[in-house]
Amino acid sequence: MNNSDDTISINLVRLWRTFSHARKKQFIALILLMVLCSFSEILVIGSVVPFLALIANPNSNFMGSIAASALHVISATNIQDIRIVASIFFALSVLLAAIFRTILAWATTYFSFDLGADLGQRIYRAILNQPYSLHINRSSSKVIDSITNQVNGIVYGTTLPLLHLLSATFLGLFIFGALILVDPTITLISFIGFCVIYLCAALLTKNSLKRNSLFCAYESHRVLQSLQEGMGGIREIIIDGTQNIHAATHSEIDLNLRRAQASTLFISLAPRYPVEAMAIIVMIGVALTLSLGNSNAGELIPKLAAMALGAQRLLPLLQQTFSSWSSLQGAQHSVAEALDLLDLPSEASRLQSIGNISFKRSINIERLAFRYAIDQPLVLKNINLEIIKGSRVGLIGVTGSGKSTFLDLIMGLLEPTSGVINIDGEEKINLSNSRQWQRHIAHVPQNIFLLDRSIAENIAMSDSGSQIDYIRLNRVIRQASLEDYINSLPDKFDTCVGERGIRLSGGQRQRIGIARALYKGADLIILDEATSALDSETERAVIAELDRIDNDVTILMVSHRPETLKSCNFIYEIKNGCLKEVKQI
Ligand SMILES: Nc1ncnc2c1ncn2[C@@H]1O[C@H](COP(=O)(O)OP(=O)(O)OP(=O)(O)O)[C@@H](O)[C@H]1O
């Protein structure tokens, strides 16, 4: 049972460490605001007894000497004046408390959501900056789940409940103190009674909340995964007529998730009703006891009213404390997972050891071997190759022979299991300097990554955020044989390509990819079956344009078609993990 409390405290400490200096200051300001708010509440409860006493009887004992001298100072001596002043004072104290509570609610909410925005942004940045080798083992639905649901878990399941819990504790203690002054015995008995109910509820529900927390963290990822799979494979789903199967899988997971969420929410709300019933019973008991022992209504009514007002203020706070605690319990697994992502090493630490990499002569690959995991066979074994700057190199091999893996290694996306890749025989490429090396490279894969934006923005992606160079854009559009197609569109290169380029044919997407590589102005262009979707004539035109580009640009090309590689200076084949030159294909 202590484990989940430990998890909460560990998560809170971890969360605090993620706060920026400004956020820490804001948090401390919030605590001060809570204290102010609590004082204003005391003022309300403290003034209700004298107020009602004065209304009932202006000469009442409840009007202490301080109040009497205050009234004297403002020359309120007759009964009417005293009543008016007391009413105004009481109304002002109620108003002040309401103002403080509104400000506190505003500050708490904005603080929590701003923090959520901070964390979401930092988690996404941390994930984007992870080495490629980690990305290939991570599911994208898990990442989306972390940035949306798990960050929401931090906002709704930790920050907001924690702040509500703190403010409820402060206010509760102050109100409790004020009620003790009004009637210590009744206050203590009823307070202990309420707390016992909430403690029993906490003990009874703790395990369920823990289970729900685990369940929600797991199922929210599965819901996203099922949606992504459904949307990603919509063409096949329609053709196979498997809509019902996918909808049923999704609805089962979704129902499980929502049931767990409902259970957590219900647990957080449930104790309210028995506690409220008990409060009314206590009030009846108090009224009865006081009226049996003391028949003076002038003193009895203000006391009862103060107790009723205190209970009306205190009970929601106790309920808030409990529901905040149960929200905290219910979200801890998601929160722990989100915080784990914040602990990932950041780009800054990766870039610390970077120097400038220049590429003037060659890429030298020596005794290169690679396997994806320790328990998997070597995909590449003892590869030696020199790629001279400005050469056109073709790469062939049967499917699954390791061509894309080899390109990923050259691009510094993967690190060799053994052996080295040197630039100009000097700079060894590794994860800490790969970012510098990648600035030299433009990569055109078979499946082009496209944003749901205009053709121009998709081509000039390396310039995002700054102005597009339209002269260069027009040149690369022509080189990639896209001119006729773009001119046929009403909005020309401002035409939106749709999600993942859905409004384009495979060949058009590939040509946008090639245009993007040319626009980047890289000195190493890597084409991984980048022309496979083009008809022979368009492919020939694109390859001829590639041949014409600067002699300083090195082109590394993978293709299954001999025709595509005709213009290469060297062609190599990967077979059984080894590389050998092919003179004729
Ligand atoms: N992320 C991965 N984890 C484990 N093994 C992988 C991973 N990616 C690829 N492989 C394996 O590595 C081998 C080489 O794959 P690779 O994609 O490099 O081949 P390829 O020659 O480019 O194939 P194709 O011509 O079909 O694109 C294959 O056996 C493949 O199953």
Tens of pLDDT, residues 420-439: 999 987 778 887 788 888 88
Q: Closest ligand 1 atom, CA of 402?
A: 18
Q: What is the pLDDT of residue 514?
A: 86
For residue 372, report the distance from its CA to the centre of ligand 1, in Å.
9
Q: What is the pLDDT of residue 1?
A: 39
pLDDT at 75 over 70: no
Q: Do domains 2-344 and 362-581 have the same CATH topology?
A: no
Domain coordinates of the chain in residue numbers? 2-344, 362-581
Q: Is the C-beta atom of 559 inside 6 A of ligand 1?
A: no
Q: Is the C-beta atom of 132 inside 6 A of ligand 1?
A: no
pLDDT at 532 over 80: no
SS (H, E, C) 523-562: CEEEEECCCCCCCHHHHHHHHHHHHHCCCCCEEEEECCCH
DSSP letter at 454 equals B
Rounded (to 5) percent helix, strand, coil in the chain: 65, 10, 25
Q: What is the pLDDT of residue 25?
A: 94
For residue 379, report the distance from its CA to the centre of ligand 1, in Å.
8
The residues near 8 (Cβ < 8 Å, ≥ 6 apart) are 328, 329, 332
Q: Closest ligand 1 atom, CA of 373?
A: 4
Q: What is the pLDDT of residue 72?
A: 65
Q: Which of the four pLDDT bands, split at 50, 70 and 90, describes residue 2? A: very low
Q: Which of the four pLDDT bands, split at 50, 70 and 90, describes residue 345? A: confident
Q: What is the pLDDT of residue 466?
A: 63
Q: Closest ligand 1 atom, CA of 574?
A: 21
Q: Is the C-beta atom of 26 inside 6 A of ligand 1?
A: no
Average of per-residue pLDDT across 516-540: 83
Q: What is the pLDDT of residue 6?
A: 62
Q: Between 300 and 204, whose confidence is greater?
A: 204
- At 420, list the tokens: 């080295």
| Best-predicted range by mean pLDDT (369-378, 467-476, 488-497, 541-550) | 369-378
Q: Which of the four pLDDT bands, split at 50, 70 and 90, describes residue 366? A: very high
Protein residue with least CA distance to atom 30, ligand 1: 400
- At 211, list the tokens: 């289970």
CA distances to 379, 413, 440 from 360, in Å: 29, 21, 11
Most ligand 1 atoms within 8 A of CB, residue of 135, 375, 401 to mutate? 401
Q: Is the C-beta atom of 532 inside 6 A of ligand 1?
A: no
Question: What is the torsion angle, in degrees rounded to the nearest 10, for the CA atoms of residue 471, residue 475, residue 480 and residue 485?
Answer: 70
Tens of pLDDT, residues 76-106: 666 677 777 778 888 888 898 889 889 998 9
Q: Is the C-beta atom of 302 inside 6 A of ligand 1?
A: no
The fold of the 2-344 domain, in CATH, is ABC transporter transmembrane region fold (1.20.1560)
Q: What are phi and psi of 505, to 5 degrees?
A: -80, 165
CATH of domain 362-581: 3.40.50.300
| Best-predicted range by mean pLDDT (31-40, 152-161, 182-191) | 31-40
pLDDT at 74 over 70: no
Supply the ipTM of this predicted assembly. Answer: 0.97
Give percent of the chain above pLDDT 70: 88
Q: Is the C-beta atom of 402 inside 6 A of ligand 1?
A: yes
Protein residue with least CA distance to atom 3, ligand 1: 372
Q: Is the C-beta atom of 120 inside 6 A of ligand 1?
A: no
- At 515, list the tokens: 């245009």
Tens of pLDDT, residues 112-158: 889 888 888 888 888 888 888 878 777 777 778 777 777 887 888 88
Q: What is the pLDDT of residue 103?
A: 93
Q: What is the pLDDT of residue 353?
A: 46
